[in-house]
Structure 1
Amino acid sequence: MSYSEELAQKVRGLLQPKDGLTEKQMFGGLAFMLNGNMACGVVGEELMVRVGPENYQEALGERYTRPMDFTGRPLKGMVYVEEDAIAEDLDGWVTRGVEFAGSLPPK
């Protein structure tokens, strides 16, 4: 599966000032890692965001989100964010992922 380079560029623009940021091909898309921990990524035209187990149900309660079920089973703490939500608040979703990844010890 490919990913939207346009969306990846927008995410890069939001993450540019972050130290410890790397990119890695995973889940058939592109993941953005902060100190070795995945924060968010792009799969197809959607954003995947690591919100963490504590924020998972709250994130799923928001419009245009669904469980990240890449393997056929939902990955707790990870959500897909559809294009409509990305258009409304890309910065907010990327920030959520960065905040969670930043709360984890570096790998």
Structure 2
Amino acid sequence: MAPNVQLVERVRSLMKAEAPEEKSMFGGLAFLIAGHMTVAVGDGGLLARIDPDADWPTRDPRAGEAMPGRPMRNWRTFDVDADTEDLPELVAHAVQQVRALPPKA
């Protein structure tokens, strides 16, 4: 399963100022900041780090469990593509969550 190439390019563009490290992970491409995975793009859309106390992902019809059957409070998948209007906000939210974490050594 290859990542959605157009979505990868759009996320790469949105994260350019953050100078993320890119790694192949989970059959897709992950973007890491200070050693923390921020978002990943796969063929099914976007995996994003979210605020575990935010309730908006539970109301977003595009959001799904990151790993069905294994609760992960701070990760959600989003069925989006490169043309999704609020993609910049989703990526910015994930970046904000990572910026609140200490850098990995």
TM-score normalised by structure 1 residue count: 0.85
For the residues of structure 2 that align with 1:52 and 1:27, how far apart are their CA atoms? 21
Partner residue of 2:7? 7
Write out the 4+ residue segments of structure 1 that deviate beyond 4 Å after TM superposition. Answer: none
Q: Name the counterpart of 1:44.
A: 43
Displacement of 1:53: 2.1
Q: CA deviation at 1:41?
A: 1.2
Distance 2:71 2:27 in 1: 16
- State the number of aligned residues: 103
Gaps of 5+ in 2: none
Q: Percent of pairs identical after alignment?
A: 32
1:17 partner SS: helix
**Richer in helix (by share):** 1
* CA-CA distance at 1:5 after TM superposition: 1.4
**Runs of 5+ unmatched residues, structure 1:** none
Cα distance in 1 for partners of 2:53, 2:29 equals 24
**Which SS does the other structure have where 2:37 is aligned?**
strand
Deviation at 1:10? 0.3
- In structure 1, what is the equivalent of residue 88 of structure 2? 91
CA–CA distance in 2 between the matches of 1:49 and 1:62? 13
Question: Which residue of 2 is the match for residue 79 of structure 1?
Answer: 76
Normalising by structure 2, we get a TM-score of 0.87
Q: Distance in 2 between matches of 1:13 and 1:94?
A: 11
